[in-house]
Structure 1
Amino acid sequence: MEHLLQHLRNLGFTEMEGKVMVELAKQGSASGYEVAKRLGVSRSNVYGTLQRLAQQGYLQAGPGEPVRYSVLDTEELTKMISSHLQQSLEAVKAGMPKHQPERPLFFNVEGDKNVLESLARELSQAEHEIIVDIYREEAALLREELEEAEARGVRVLWSCDGADNTPARWMSPSVLGNAGRQGGRRFSFVIDRRRCMLGMRGEPGSAQAVVTEHPVMAELLLSHFAQELVLFELDQDMGAELEGRYGPLYQSIIRRYAGGPS
């Protein structure tokens, strides 16, 4: 019964209203005195509740003295509640002031489920372009959302560290490979060159992300993406020559700026 009463409270009925309606549904019909006696509460509270529910149309009051009340059958009752709720929702939609709430400049998302849901939500709102820098594990989890974006005309550009079995159109691995990678797999998205989401996934429950519309962050991520693809194309054209001069993955250059041994 408590479970049912909780749902009635969620629909806007008071504790007493819910108990009265459930009791009448059990008994078929009853007087105010009988309902009060069965619930073990004062008659004055029950009488006021019965009259209020009857005025709202949820109860029917029979003729005679004492008045006997009955609740609408379940299907009719739920239709009436649904209609009242829909009217309230429409009134809120029409009457709520249109001022847009201010978003914080940066906000954090934590936890694997929350991060993935936030990523999917951001991707679903893209209108023109999505820039993606991601590992193959996250690419697989978000592939459906990104393909849906492409299907509605959004331009999707990829940089994806993947395995040999990753589709070629998803591949544009960084020349720097996994250099500097610590604590998990990094990802970043730039939505419509404005909305950014970047973070890291790794151990279960350790996912974290930052969402922002700060123009400097968008500029940095877009610049990094462009530089990564330029390096990729250079590697495709001159990879053997560059590797011969600087070593595999050009480690002699990377160590110079990453603090490793020269």
Structure 2
Amino acid sequence: MEQLLHHLKNLGFTDLEAKVMVELAQGGAASGYEVSKRTGASRSNVYAALQRLAGQGFLRVGEGEPARYSMLPVEELTRIISGRLQESLETVERKMPRQEHEQAPFHNLEGDRDVMTSLARELGGAKHEIVVDVRREEVALVLDMLEQAEQRGVKVLWACDSGEAALGQWLPRGAFETEPIPGGRKFSFVVDRRWCMLGMRGDSGAAQAVVTEHPVMTELLLNQFAQDIVLYEMENDMGAELSVRYGWRYENIIGKYVSGGPRSI
């Protein structure tokens, strides 16, 4: 009973209105005086509640004196409530003022606990795709979450700097390795092409990250990942033939943009 009253109040009915509705549904049609006796509420308050409910179409009012009130069938009641709620939600979505040029915010996270809490929440709610770029030192922190996502049918694409493939879609990290960032190891995650995290974690274990749903950051991380995949596939397919075919030009192109030159193939 208390749970039912609680949910009726959540739908916008007052405490007395909820009690009156349950009493009429339970005991059948009744006059205001009878409802007052059953609920223990004052007659004036009960009459006011009955009139409000009848005026909103939630009660039927019989002819005669005194008037007798009865509840609608529950299916009809819930259909009316659902329709009105949906209409209100659509109106709010359509009419609520929006800020012009509203942009997704960037949030800074400090420390392993905050970073992992945020990451676990998003990976646990992923529905379609997760793109991951991590170093092998961080693999153990996320492996269980990625495996669970795959078991739910989420496509997981992830890259690591070296080691055995932990998941089916594993790729070596990047087609060309850059110099490590002083003081830490970079990691990034993109979930459902919407939410992304870019951060760094040091040997001490302390992590720092930026989290956002800004489409520019998401696009940058996805483009970087796609570029690495394409370059890796080219090297994997052509092998040493790249250097044979392009000679010094290939090495010069890579050396111009990537510190340390091309990875050995």
Does structure 1 retain, via aligned residues, the 8 Å contact 2:124–2:145?
A: no
Residues 1:118 and 2:122 aligned together: yes
- Which residue does 2:106 correspond to in 1? 105
Shifted more, 21-30 versus 138-147: the winner is 138-147
- Which residue does 2:146 correspond to in 1? 142
- Deviation string 1:146-193 (CA, Å, 9 cap, x unpaired) is 98568xxxxx5x42268646257514269999xx89xxx985225799
Q: CA deviation at 1:98?
A: 2.9
- Which residue does 1:70 correspond to in 2? 70
| Number of aligned positions between the proteins | 209
- Deviation string 1:85-114 (CA, Å, 9 cap, x unpaired) is 111111112112232655443244848665
Aligned equivalents of 1:38 and 1:64: distance in 2? 21
Q: Percent identity?
A: 46
Q: CA deviation at 1:18?
A: 0.6
Task: Pick closer, same or farther for the CA change 1:199–1:31 going to 2, 3 Å.
Answer: farther
Task: Pick closer, same or farther for the CA change 1:123–1:76 going to 2, 3 Å.
Answer: closer
Give the TM-score normalised by the residue count of structure 2: 0.59
Shifted more, 192-201 versus 54-63: the winner is 192-201
Q: CA deviation at 1:8?
A: 0.7
- Which residue does 2:245 correspond to in 1? none
Does structure 2 retain, via aligned residues, the 8 Å contact 1:188–1:197?
A: yes
Residues 1:41 and 2:41 aligned together: yes
Q: Structure 1 counterpart of 2:119, which letter?
A: V
Residues 1:159 and 2:159 aligned together: yes
Does structure 2 retain, via aligned residues, the 8 Å contact 1:115–1:208?
A: no
Q: CA deviation at 1:14?
A: 1.3
Task: Pick closer, same or farther for the CA change 1:131–1:169 going to 2, 3 Å.
Answer: closer
- Which residue does 2:257 correspond to in 1? none
Aligned equivalents of 1:106 and 1:4: distance in 2? 40
- Deviation string 1:37-60 (CA, Å, 9 cap, x unpaired) is 221111111111101110111000
Q: Structure 1 counterpart of 2:107, which letter?
A: F
Task: Pick closer, same or farther for the CA change 1:96–1:121 going to 2, 3 Å.
Answer: farther
Aligned equivalents of 1:98 and 1:29: distance in 2? 47
Q: CA deviation at 1:10?
A: 1.2
Q: Structure 2 counterpart of 1:80, which letter?
A: I
SS at match of 1:57: coil
- Which residue does 1:94 correspond to in 2? 94
- Deviation string 1:203-232 (CA, Å, 9 cap, x unpaired) is xxxx996414697xx79xx79x98xx99xx
- Which residue does 1:26 correspond to in 2? 26
Does structure 1 retain, via aligned residues, the 8 Å contact 2:133–2:173?
A: no
- Deviation string 1:3-52 (CA, Å, 9 cap, x unpaired) is 11111111111111111100111111111111112211111111111011
Does structure 2 retain, via aligned residues, the 8 Å contact 1:60–1:71?
A: yes
Give the TM-score normalised by the residue count of structure 1: 0.59
Task: Pick closer, same or farther for the CA change 1:84–1:140 going to 2, 3 Å.
Answer: same
Aligned equivalents of 1:62 and 1:194: distance in 2? 56
- Which residue does 2:258 correspond to in 1? none
Gaps of 5+ in 1: 151-155, 202-206, 238-262
Aligned equivalents of 2:120 and 2:85: distance in 1? 32
CA RMSD, Structure 1 to Structure 2 (Å)? 4.6
Gaps of 5+ in 2: 202-206, 241-265
Shifted more, 138-147 versus 72-81: the winner is 138-147
Does structure 2 retain, via aligned residues, the 8 Å contact 1:111–1:208?
A: yes
